[in-house]
Amino acid sequence: MADPKKDIRALTRDDLKGYFHEIGEPTFRADQVYEWLWQKSAQNFESMTNLSLELREKLDENFVINHIRVDQMQRSEDGTVKNAVRLYDGKVVESVLIPTDKRITACISSQVGCSLDCHFCATGQMERMRNLNPDEIYDQVVAIHNEALELYGRPLTNIVFMGMGEPLMNYKNVLEAIDKITSPEGLGMSPKRITLSTVGLAKMIRKLADDEVKFKLALSLHSAIDEVRDQIMPINKVNPVNDLLLALQYWYDKTRSKVTLEYVVWEGINDRTEDIQALVEFAKRIPCKVNLIEYNPTDDDRFRQAPSNIIDAYSHALGQVGVIAKVRRSRGKDIDAACGQLANKNEVSKQD
């Protein structure tokens, strides 16, 4: 049965002030509770020791804290850790901790499943079940930060929205979560260390620019030719390449923040000279860098990673017009934690 109590983290600080006022408590209680809920990630009211026992009980009668639970933690031989995260309603998403010498990056999910249908992505083959709430996004970051300290003795340094789901289809909750992650009242992380990766929704990229967000943007381009992109990413039919380019130019004009273009090269799909040329033409027209991502095989055998000489040809052609291209090795492949492999493989049977 659904819990009739309200999730207290859905309330703003002002909502909380209103509540305490209503029950005849001083409004500074709102600040105390807010700090417990966000900065200290309290998982129950009992632990809020600067409140009277009576007040803690009252809160417990009226509210719940829908904290996520890490059900399963898998560790890859390369140090990558994948969490299966159970939400209050039993649904499961995945988040990944990626350690390197200098950084610890959290790759987090924004939706349960995904409504897009990118043919090369395992998450895309799942149904989108629902958006994550801001606190569910925030909790994934806290969980990974704690694991980073525990396993590597270092704090989390970067966050990428490259887990399950399309963050711009859960715009409001993702921005609210980032607000909490960057606010001194939450984790106080710099927005420059956060990257939102999108499939490319032109209208929403413009909205990000209008909202003057301070985090970074990555676009999953994979082809700069409509006929090719239409075939692998059906969303391209309503967000064609040129619309994306114009949206990115708008983004750059407003934010002055370089975008990252994510690009996988597949045999027989985007490995021709004209594919390379189209990307070069695109990249020339917007301040950007290109990440050439290694393909992580999913169940679809139409997609095969192109050989390294083709990747080199891409890097070289981009370099010639002054665009930096980095080849990204994938991490955590042995535990299905790499880009596009998140599909709750171990958990899927347990979902409703």
Q: How far is the CB of 319 from ligand SAH (least distance, A)?
A: 21
Order the strands of the 325-328 sheet from edge to edge: 69-75, 81-86, 92-99, 104-107, 158-161, 194-198, 216-220, 259-263, 288-293, 325-328
Query: Tokens in use for 272?
Result: 């021709």
The DSSP string of 62-76 is HEE----EEEEEEE-
| β-sheet bridge partners, residue 84 | 72, 94
- Cβ atoms 86, 68 nearer than 8 A: yes
Q: How far is the CB of 322 from ligand SAH (least distance, A)?
A: 23
Q: State which of residues 36, 251, 295, 314 lies at the interface with ligand SAH (CB under 6 A).
A: 295
Q: Binding of ligand SAH at residue 121 (CB under 6 A)?
A: yes
Q: Binding of ligand SAH at residue 162 (CB under 6 A)?
A: yes
Q: Which C-beta is closer to ligand SAH: that of 63 or that of 263?
A: 263
Q: Which residues are catalytic?
A: 94, 339
Q: Binding of ligand SAH at residue 80 (CB under 6 A)?
A: no
Site string for ligand SAH, 239-268 (x = CB under 6 A): -----------------------x-x----
Judged by CB under 6 A, the number of residues near ligand SAH is 16
Q: Binding of ligand SAH at residue 195 (CB under 6 A)?
A: no
Between CA 10 and CA 257 the distance in angstroms is: 31
Q: State which of residues 8, 177, 178, 199 lies at the interface with ligand SAH (CB under 6 A).
A: 199
How far from chain centre, in Å, is Cα 161? Answer: 2
Q: Binding of ligand SAH at residue 111 (CB under 6 A)?
A: no
Q: Which C-beta is closer to ligand SAH: that of 173 or that of 220?
A: 220
Q: Binding of ligand SAH at residue 205 (CB under 6 A)?
A: no
Q: How far is the CB of 115 from ligand SAH (least distance, A)?
A: 10
Between CA 164 and CA 197 the distance in angstroms is: 11
- 148-152: long-range pairs with CB below 8 Å, 24+: 148/97, 148/99, 148/104, 151/81, 151/97, 152/79, 152/99, 152/104
Q: Binding of ligand SAH at residue 298 (CB under 6 A)?
A: yes
Q: Binding of ligand SAH at residue 223 (CB under 6 A)?
A: no
Q: How far is the CB of 61 from ligand SAH (least distance, A)?
A: 40
In the chain, count H helices and then E strands: 10, 14
- At position 153, the amino acid (one-letter code) is G
Q: State which of residues 19, 38, 120, 282 lies at the interface with ligand SAH (CB under 6 A).
A: 120
Cα→Cα distances 182→74, 138, 141, 251, 307, Å: 28, 10, 11, 21, 40
Q: Which C-beta is closer to ligand SAH: that of 117 or that of 274?
A: 117
Cα→Cα distances 80→86, 230, 259, Å: 19, 33, 25
Q: Which C-beta is closer to ligand SAH: that of 182 or that of 296?
A: 296
Q: Which C-beta is closer to ligand SAH: that of 264 or that of 286?
A: 264
Between CA 191 and CA 181 the distance in angstroms is: 8
Q: Which C-beta is closer to ligand SAH: that of 198 or that of 270?
A: 198
Q: State which of residues 260, 261, 340, 344 lies at the interface with ligand SAH (CB under 6 A).
A: 340
| β-sheet bridge partners, residue 95 | 83
State the residues that interact with ligand SAH by CB under 6 A: 120-121, 162, 166, 197-199, 220, 262, 264, 293, 295-296, 298, 339-340
